[in-house]
Structures are given as C-alpha cells and as structure tokens.
Amino acid sequence: MQDIYELLDEHEISYEQYDHPALMTTADAQKFIPHLPGAPTKNLFLRDKKGSRHFLVVVHDFKQVELKSLSEAIGSSRLSFGSPERLKKHLNIEPGSVSLLALSQDIEKRVELFIDKPIWEAELLQCHPLINTRTLVISHSGIEKFLTACGSEFSTIDVPGIEE
C-alpha cells in the first residue's frame, strides 16, 4: 500500500495542505475550516442490499442525498451506509476519513465511484488525505491525474438530493 503523499508526488499532483482538529462531520468542517479554497466535499461510503457492491459517492458538503433515488440512478438495489468494518476492508480507512483519495487503497477495484456533477465541475476540491486531521486542496486536473494513477473508473451523475 503506497503512502498517499508519495503517490501524489510521484504523479506530480500539487496540493495545499491544511491541518486542523479531527473532523467527523461536515458541520465540524464548517466550524473549524470554513474558509478553505475549493469545493468542500461530503463522501458517502455505501453498499447495496446484498453487500455485493460498494460505492463512494462524492457530493458538495451541504447536499442531503436521497438514497432511494440514488439507488435508482446508479442501477443498484436499496442502498445503506457501509459499516466501519466494510470501510476498513475496502478502503483501509476509518470513519470520518472517507475521501476520494481513499481509492488509492482500493487495490481490488471493488468500490464504484460516483461524483456529483457540480463537484466534478469545481476548479478545486477539498479532500482528506486518509486522515481527518488534514485537508488537501487539489485542482480538478490533479484529481483527474489521481484517478488515472489509481486506475479508478468513475461516473459523474446528478446525485438526487432532498429538497429543503
């Protein structure tokens, strides 16, 4: 398993690093790091009803995702959140540290990535580097390089949200 910083450096993916207290929720992020550049993300690690498919869904931090509509949009049975054990097994990270950078840990390529279109269109993205006490700000082109380096396929979709 390659260190995330080595991987970024090896593929000449530049980033800005910000250290902060541990963040477990998007509310924590808004409290402790409200003024970072780039789009703040929320990353949902999900599984299908049988537990045979696993998904990472990346949306803007304020978006409330409607799981029933999302399951239809991605062609899956009913979705639920993956357990901490599944998260550790598939992405080798702990809850609170979920990020698309964790795909570097998906050696067997078993986690399907879906990125909400508004996030994919952002110039800069905020991502945890596999721990929740740091945030990296990476350019869109850097994220593209990262996904290519990891051999991660992905789909951009309009993730269904709950209207407030």
pLDDT single digits (tens) 30-43: 777 778 899 999 99
CA 104, 107, 111, 113 torsion: positive or negative?
Answer: positive
Across the range 75-100, mean pLDDT stands at 92
CATH assignment of the domain containing 142: 3.90.960.10
**What's the DSSP call for residue 49?**
T
In the prediction, which pLDDT does 81 show? Answer: 95
Residue 60 lies in a domain: yes
Residue 163 lies in a domain: no
Rounded Cα distance between 105 and 111, Å, is 10
Residue 162 lies in a domain: no
Q: What predicted TM-score, i.e. pTM, was given to this entire model?
A: 0.92
Residue 150 lies in a domain: yes
Pair 16, 136: CB distance under 8 Å? yes
Tens of pLDDT, residues 88-118:
999 999 888 899 999 999 989 999 999 999 9
Q: How confident is the model at residue 164 (pLDDT cuts 50, 70, 90)?
A: low
In the prediction, which pLDDT does 95 show? Answer: 87
Structural domain range at position 79: 4-157
Pair 161, 53: CB distance under 8 Å? no
Residue 125 lies in a domain: yes
Q: How many domains does the chain have?
A: 1
